[in-house]
Amino acid sequence: MTGRLAVVGLGPGSPAQTTPEAAAALAAASDLFGYGPYLDRLKPAPGQRRHASDNREELARARAALETAAAGRSVAMVSGGDPGVFAMAAAVCEAIEAGPAAWREIELDITPGITAMLAVAARAGAPLGHDFCALSLSDNLKPWEAVETRLRAAAGAGFVLAFYNPISRARPWQLGRAFEILREVLPASTPVIFGRAVGRPDECMIVTTLAEAHAGQADMATCVIVGSPETRLVERPGRPPLVYTPRSSGRAAR
Amino acid sequence: MTGRLAVVGLGPGSPAQTTPEAAAALAAASDLFGYGPYLDRLKPAPGQRRHASDNREELARARAALETAAAGRSVAMVSGGDPGVFAMAAAVCEAIEAGPAAWREIELDITPGITAMLAVAARAGAPLGHDFCALSLSDNLKPWEAVETRLRAAAGAGFVLAFYNPISRARPWQLGRAFEILREVLPASTPVIFGRAVGRPDECMIVTTLAEAHAGQADMATCVIVGSPETRLVERPGRPPLVYTPRSSGRAAR
CATH (domain of A222): 3.30.950.10
Together in a domain, A42 and A105: yes
* A130, closest residue in chain B (CA to CA): B86
Distance in angstroms (rounded) separating the CA atoms of residues A166 and A151? 13
Chain A residues with CB under 8 Å of B60 CB are none
B231, B127 Cβ separation under 8 angstroms: yes
Task: Give alpha helix (H) positions in B85-190.
Answer: 88-98, 116-124, 144-156, 174-185
On whether both A98 and A142 belong to a single domain, the answer is no
Q: What is the pLDDT of residue A229?
A: 97
CB-based contact, B134 to chain A, within 8 Å? yes
Rounded to whole angstroms, how far apart are CA atoms B128 and B121?
A: 7
- Residues A125 and A238 placed together within one structural domain of the fold: yes
Contact yes or no for B192/B186 (Cβ under 8 A): no
Contacts of A146 in chain B (CB under 8 A): 158, 249-250
**Closest Cα in chain A to B163:** A131
pLDDT, mean of residues A219-234:
97
Would A137 be classed as within a structural domain? yes
Q: Are A94 and A14 within one domain?
A: yes
Question: Which pLDDT tens digits describe chain B residue by residue (254 residues)?
Answer: 679 999 999 999 999 999 999 999 999 999 999 999 899 989 888 899 999 987 778 999 999 999 999 999 999 999 999 999 999 999 999 999 999 999 999 999 999 999 999 999 999 999 999 999 999 999 988 999 999 999 999 999 999 999 999 999 999 999 999 999 999 999 999 999 999 999 889 999 999 999 999 999 999 999 999 999 999 999 999 999 999 999 988 644 33
Q: In this structure, is residue A254 part of a structural domain?
A: no
Q: Which amino acid is at A94?
A: E
Chosen for mutation from B7, B114, B148, B254 (greatest number of chain A CBs closer than 10 Å) is: B114
Beta carbons of A167 and A220 less than 8 angstroms apart: yes
Beta bridge partners of B34: B52, B78
Query: Do A118 and B82 lie within an 8 Å CB cutoff?
Result: yes
Closest CA to A12 of B19, B14, B198, B90: B19
Our CA-based measurement puts residue B88 at a distance from the nearest CA of chain A, in whole angstroms, of: 9
Q: Are residues A16 and A105 in the same domain?
A: yes
Task: Please indicate, yes or no, whether residues B190 and B110 belong to a single structural domain of this protein.
Answer: no
Asked if A248 and B146 count as a contact pair (C-beta separation under 8 A), the reply is: no
Residue A82 lies in a domain: yes
Q: Establish if A219 touches chain B: CB-CB under 8 angstroms.
A: no
- Nearest alpha carbon to residue B7 among B68, B75, B57, B102: B75
Q: Is A131 on the interface with B (CB under 8 A)?
A: yes
Is residue A152 situated within a structural domain? yes
Mean pLDDT of A36-48: 90
Contacts of B144 (CB under 8 A, 6+ apart): B174
Closest-approach residue (CA) in chain A for B8 = A122
Instruction: Determine, yes or no, domain membership for A57.
Output: yes
Contact B9/B34 with Cβ under 8 angstroms?
Answer: no
Do A156 and A240 fall into the same domain? Answer: yes
How near does any CA of chain B get to the CA of A46, in Å? 24
Average pLDDT over residues A116-134: 98
Residues comprising chain B, all counted: 254
Q: Looking at the domain assignment, is residue A251 inside a domain?
A: no
pLDDT of residue B44: 80
Burial of B53 (0-12, 13-18, 19+ CB in 10 A): middle
Count structural domains, chain B. Answer: 2
Last residue of a domain, one of B61, B83, B114: B114
Interface probe for B, chosen from A141, A144, A148 (most Cβ of B below 10 Å), is A141
SS3 B209: strand
- State the Cα–Cα distance between residues A172 and A180, nearest whole angstrom: 14
Tell me the C-alpha distance between A150 and A141, whole Å. 15
Order of strands, sheet of B4-9, starting from the edge strand that comes earlier in the sequence: B49-53, B31-35, B74-79, B4-9, B107-111
How far is B213 from chain A, CA to nearest CA, in Å? Answer: 22
> What pLDDT, on a 0 to 100 scale, did the predictor assign at position B253?
38
Region of A244 (left: φ > 0; alpha: ψ -120 to 50; beta: rest) is beta
A153 touches chain B (CB under 8 A): yes
Q: Is the ipTM of this complex over 0.90?
A: yes
Do A149 and A165 belong together in one domain? Answer: yes
Q: Are residues B124 and B238 in the same domain?
A: yes
Looking at the structure, tell me whether residues A104 and A155 fall in a common domain: no
Q: Are residues B74 and B143 both part of a single domain? A: no
**A133 CB near a chain B CB, below 8 Å?**
yes
Segments forming the whole domain that contains residue B10? 4-114
pLDDT band at A251 (very low <50, low <70, confident <90, very high): very low
Q: How far is A212 from chain B (nearest CA, A)?
A: 24
If DSSP codes are grouped into helix, strand and coil, which group holds residue A53? strand
Same domain membership, residue B67 and residue B16? yes
Min Cα–Cα distance to chain B from A211, Å: 23
Average the pLDDT over A34-61 and give the result.
89
pLDDT number for residue A238: 92
Domain edge (last residue) among B114, B135, B151: B114
Last residue of a domain, one of A80, A95, A114: A114
Average pLDDT, chain A: 94
Residue A43 CA to residue A27 CA, distance in Å, equals 9
Mention every residue, 6+ apart, whose C-beta is less than 8 A from residue B27.
B45
Tell whether A252 is covered by a domain. no
Domain assignment present for B34: yes
Of residues A226 and B249, more confidence is placed in: A226
Alpha-carbon torsion B54, B55, B57, B61, what sign?
Answer: positive
What is the pLDDT at residue A76? 98
Residues, chain A:
254
Give me the residues paired with residue A224 across strands. A163, A194
Where on the phi/psi map is residue A218: left (φ > 0), alpha (ψ -120 to 50), or beta?
beta
Alpha-carbon gap, residue A202 to A37, rounded angstroms: 15
Nearest to A162 by CA among A98, A83, A218: A218
Question: Rounded to an integer, what distance in angstroms lies between the CA atom of residue A111 and that of residue A26?
Answer: 10
A129 touches chain B (CB under 8 A): yes
Residue A61, SS3 per DSSP: helix
